[in-house]
Amino acid sequence: MFSEQLSKKFDKMVTNYPTKRSALVPMLLFAQDEVGYLSDEVITDLAKRVDLTELEVKNVISYYSMLHTKLMGKYHVQVCTNISCMLRGGEELLDHCKSKLGIGHKQTQPDGLFSLEEVECIGACSWAPAVQVNYDFHENLTPAKMDKVLDQYAKKAKQ
């Protein structure tokens, strides 16, 4: 299911806590990073590792906004529109991304390259407006700068 490296990491992680399930949230996130999303197979595998039922794992997944049970784009563009970003053009940036990428909130392009999500505060308030593409922060953006960021990712995908 997982690479040997990640599997080893999981084996170590469950020993970091008095109960195995305590490692569940980080494990879900790391599994998602490797597989792309939390498929039924991933859920079954992780449930076994932490001695939970699949239902209990799904119950946890639905609480956390970064965990997805559907495949997102290769590059998941997360635009913050919370207060500090809104005041400096976060909403305009989101609209710009929508028209540039041709998709809406929580949608993925047909070729799976980009997906888009309007997110809550990502902790970049003093450097607003900010966007996260996967885990990378892009700050102090304007629509023109955003175009460059998106073009870079599109280029990277082709390499």
Partner 1 sequence: MADLVSHPDETKVVSSRFGKGATNIDRYIELDGYKAVRKALEMTPDAIINEVKTSSLRGRGGAGFPTGMKWSFVPKESAKPKYVLVNGDESEPGTCKDRLILEHDPHAVIEGVIIAGLAVGAQKGYIYIRGEYRYLLTIMQKAIDDAYAKGFLGDNIFDTGKKFDCYWHTGAGAYEVGEESALMESLEGKRGIPRIRPPFPAVVGLWGGPTVINNVETLASVPHIMLMGGQKFADFGPPKNGGTRLFCLSGHVNKPGVYELPLGYPMEKLIYGVGGGISNGKKLKAVVPGGSSTYLLTADEAVKMNLDFDSFAKTGGFLGSGGVVVLDEDTCMVKFALRVMKFYQHESCGWCIPCREGTDWLKKTLTRFHSGGGVKKDIDNINYLAQNMLGRTFCPLGDAAAIPTISIVQKWRQEFEDHLEGKPCPYEHKGIPAPAFA
Q: Is 154 in the site for partner 1 (CB under 8 A)?
A: no
Tokens matching residue 48? 């076994």
| Shortest distance, position 111 Cβ to partner 1, whole Å | 25
**Is 69 among the residues that bind partner 1 (CB under 8 A)?**
no
- How many chain residues bind partner 1 (CB under 8 A)? 49
Among 149, 159, 36, CA closest to 140: 149
Residues 36, 107, 109, 127: which binds partner 1 (CB under 8 A)? 127
When asked if residue 142 is in the footprint of partner 1 (CB under 8 A), the reply is yes
Cα distance between residue 27 and residue 126, in whole Å: 31
Which residues in the 99-118 window bind partner 1 by CB under 8 A?
none
Query: Between the CA of residue 93 and those of 19, 135, 145, 150, what are the distances in Å?
Result: 43, 18, 10, 12
Query: Which of 108/132 has CB closer to partner 1?
Result: 132
Phi, psi of 107 (to 5 degrees): -115, 160
Site for partner 1 in 41-60 (CB under 8 A): 50, 59-60
Considering only residues 4, 63, 99, 155, which one is a binding residue for partner 1 as defined by CB under 8 A? Answer: 63
Q: Cα separations (Å) of 54 from 6, 43, 49? A: 20, 6, 11
Residue 28 in contact with residue 61, Cβ under 8 Å? yes
List contacts with partner 1 (CB under 8 A). 16-19, 21-26, 28-29, 50, 59-60, 62-67, 81-84, 86-89, 92, 120-129, 132, 135-137, 139-142, 145
